[in-house]
């Protein structure tokens, strides 16, 4: 039973019972309802904001695990990229140099992986950016690994051909010169003995008596044998693999164009023909059309100590005969 309420009436100087109308009761009930509803909403948002549900707590833990796994995988991919970069550097600067192979173009190595609709689909998934980034990085790495694998296949093939290559490339001195006393002038800038002007000497000169044997410095095919302006009697050998050698100022040639020769075959005799100021052999090495320093192609003939002494002699003597 509800408690009765009274109010003092100053006119009658007595207490009178308060009688509430139905409208008042409805309004008061509605006020209580709205107040309770508002309090409930506030409490709900506080709970949702600051107190995650069990399902949310589970998802948070799963996301933390996924993020940790992603960070680990991302780190591993970065480490693999460093290993691959080292392999690529060794490939270009060591293996391909040894076998005289052109380095793989950077654009081919890096190769662009197009971000197609496949990656757009990944971006719509849960943890979208993580999935898309790691997948893209893995695809780029996979492409680079494929290019590197093909490069090593080529290196293996070059290694199989290397035995023939080593027999063909120039590797000895063109005259008997074990004591190095016949080393006259090296590759580089010298004073022309006739015009007395500074000129680039494109080969090496070996002083020797007329009639001294001249050797083929590697297996080859005779490309030219005859008179060549400035060089006099001259022989040019094609060794294959991009190499050619030239032997100038000869007294006599024993070979003809098209003939096959082996390393250490006597192909001519030292002479004093053409633009020459004394008996000597002028020797040049060409690789893919460019003149090379011949002193780098005596590795089958000289020890490291003899090589250093020959370099010193060729630089210090400076005596050009042509």
**Which run of H or E residues covers position 64?**
helix 54-90
Mean pLDDT on 309-315: 67
pLDDT of 111: 59
Residues 262 and 168: their CA atoms lie apart, in Å, by: 8
Quick check: is 174 in a domain? no
**Does one domain contain both 116 and 214?**
no
**Does one domain contain both 43 and 144?**
no
Q: Of 141, 168, 195, which closes a domain?
A: 168
Quick check: is 65 in a domain? yes
Q: Are 316 and 307 in contact (CB under 8 A)?
A: no
Report the C-alpha dihedral over residues 114, 131, 143, 77, rounded to 10 degrees: 140
pLDDT of 77: 74
At residue 116, does pLDDT exceed 60? no
Residues 221 and 236: their CA atoms lie apart, in Å, by: 9
**Does one domain contain both 202 and 265?**
yes
The more confident residue out of 315 and 168 is: 168
Distance between terminal CA atoms of the chain?
136
**Does one domain contain both 311 and 196?**
yes
**Does one domain contain both 75 and 32?**
no
Confidence of residue 246 (pLDDT cuts 50, 70, 90): very high
Q: Are 144 and 113 in contact (CB under 8 A)?
A: no
Domain count, the chain: 3
Q: Of 168, 192, 221, which closes a domain?
A: 168
Tally helices (H) and strands (E) across the chain.
7, 15
pLDDT of 199: 64
The DSSP output letter for 102 is P
Range in 162-166, 177-181, 286-290 with the lowest mean pLDDT: 177-181
- The three-class DSSP label of residue 149 is helix
**Does one domain contain both 206 and 307?**
yes
Quick check: is 322 in a domain? no
Residues 74 and 274: their CA atoms lie apart, in Å, by: 69
Confidence of residue 113 (pLDDT cuts 50, 70, 90): low
Quick check: is 1 in a domain? no
At residue 99, does pLDDT exceed 70? no
Range in 6-10, 55-59, 209-213, 273-277 with the lowest mean pLDDT: 6-10
Q: Around Cβ 264, how many Cβ atoms within 10 Å?
A: 15
User: Model pTM?
Assistant: 0.50
The more confident residue out of 322 and 45 is: 45
Residues 29 and 22: their CA atoms lie apart, in Å, by: 10
Q: In the structure encoding, which two tokens stand for residue 173, read together?
A: 């001195």
pLDDT of 252: 93
Over residues 59-75, the pLDDT tens digits come to: 778 777 777 777 777 77
Tell me which residue range forms the domain holding 240: 183-317
**Does one domain contain both 208 and 163?**
no
**Does one domain contain both 209 and 309?**
yes
At residue 3, does pLDDT exceed 60? yes
Confidence of residue 238 (pLDDT cuts 50, 70, 90): very high
Quick check: is 103 in a domain? yes
Quick check: is 176 in a domain? no
Over residues 122-141, the pLDDT tens digits come to: 555 556 566 666 777 777 77
Nearest partner of 72 among 12, 146, 134, judged by Cα: 134
At residue 254, does pLDDT exceed 90? yes
Q: Of 119, 143, 168, which closes a domain?
A: 168
Mean pLDDT on 47-56: 72
**Does one domain contain both 241 and 253?**
yes
> Which residues have a Cβ under 8 Å from the Cβ of 213 and sit 6 or more positions away?
175, 176, 266, 269, 270
**Does one domain contain both 58 and 96?**
yes
- The three-class DSSP label of residue 222 is strand
**Does one domain contain both 302 and 187?**
yes
CATH of the domain at 292: 2.70.70.10
pLDDT of 266: 96
Quick check: is 177 in a domain? no
Quick check: is 309 in a domain? yes
Q: Apex CA 303: angle with CA 201 and CA 92, to 5°?
A: 70
**Does one domain contain both 103 and 27?**
no
Q: Which percentage of the chain shows pLDDT scores above 90? A: 22
Residue position matching structure tokens 């095919």: 221
């Amino acid at each position: 039973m509800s408690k009765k309420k009274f109010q003092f009436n100053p006119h009658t100087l007595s207490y009178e019972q308060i009688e509430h109308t139905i409208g008042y009761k409805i309004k008061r009930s509605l006020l209580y309802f709205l107040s309770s509803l508002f309090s409930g909403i506030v409490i709900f948002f506080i709970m949702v904001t600051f107190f995650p549900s069990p399902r949310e707590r589970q998802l948070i833990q799963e996301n933390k695990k996924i993020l940790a796994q992603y960070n680990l995988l991302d780190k591993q991919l970065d480490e693999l990229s460093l290993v691959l970069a080292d392999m690529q550097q060794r490939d270009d600067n060591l293996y391909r140099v040894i076998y005289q192979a052109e380095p793989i173009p950077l654009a081919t190595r890096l190769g662009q992986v197009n971000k197609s609709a496949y990656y757009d689909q990944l971006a719509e998934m849960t943890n979208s950016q993580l999935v898309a980034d790691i997948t893209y990085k893995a695809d780029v790495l996979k492409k680079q690994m494929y290019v590197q694998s093909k490069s090593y296949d080529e290196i293996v093939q070059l290694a199989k051909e290397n035995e023939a290559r080593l027999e063909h490339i120039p590797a000895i001195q063109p005259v008997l010169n074990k004591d190095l006393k016949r080393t006259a002038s090296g590759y580089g800038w010298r004073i022309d003995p006739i015009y007395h002007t500074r000129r680039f000497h494109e080969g090496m000169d070996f002083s020797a008596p007329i009639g001294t044997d001249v050797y083929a410095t590697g297996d080859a095919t005779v490309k030219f044998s005859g008179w060549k302006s400035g060089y006099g009697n001259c022989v040019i050998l094609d060794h294959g693999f991009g190499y050619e050698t030239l032997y100038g100022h000869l007294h006599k040639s024993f070979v003809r164009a098209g003939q096959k020769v082996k390393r250490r075959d006597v192909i001519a005799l030292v002479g004093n023909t053409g633009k020459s100021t004394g008996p000597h052999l002028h020797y040049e090495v060409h690789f893919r059309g460019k003149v090379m320093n011949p002193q780098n192609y005596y590795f089958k003939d000289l020890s490291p100590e003899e090589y250093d002494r020959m370099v010193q002699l060729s630089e210090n003597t400076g005596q050009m005969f042509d």
